[in-house]
Amino acid sequence: MEKQTIRATTPRRRAVHIDVQLNAPKGLRPLSTRRSNDRFGRFTEGVARAMGTPLFLIILTLIVVTWMTYNSVAPEGWRFDSPEIGFTALTLILSLQASYAAPLILLAQNRQDDRDRVAMEQDRQRAERNLADTEYLAREVVALRLAIKDVATKDFIRAELRALLEELDSSGSSDAKS
């Protein structure tokens, strides 16, 4: 087996040397690539979460209003976007923002779908275990009920003891008569 030593950093930025087998399955490879993918996934979820807030919409609206007001009111030499041609720079910036926002939101949604899928699978397995446990307990209750029918009750024992006492009395009185 061929091994390779990889230098990886932990979350506290300590260098750790990991011996990796090059023919090892992907799941046994170092966590550095998985961590970076997870870090990017958390970033996309943060961006998607932030874009869905009223604060984001308010800030974006204020930026657009400020941009348009400045470029409409400022002296001609100080303007950086022309209202005569429809605020082309503002349009391009908003288009760029939208072109990045859509894939980031989709990535965050895919991660949420994966989490939901895992949760549903765990719920299904838990429900199967609960059903199996319930069926087992139901069988045990039935077995106990059947076993209780074979157990002598107080009335049965009293009746048997009375019968034995009567038998003893009758046999004792017959012995005394003879």
Q: What percent of the chain has pLDDT over 90?
A: 48
Higher pLDDT, 71 or 9: 71
> What pLDDT is stored for residue 27 in this prediction?
56
Mean pLDDT confidence for 61-83? 93
> What pLDDT is stored for residue 68 in this prediction?
94
> In sequence order, which residues have a C-beta less than 8 Å from that of residue 15 and are 6 or more positions away?
7, 8, 9
| pLDDT tens sequence across 6-63 | 555 555 556 555 555 555 555 555 555 567 778 888 888 998 889 889 999 999 999 9
> What pLDDT is stored for residue 1 in this prediction?
47
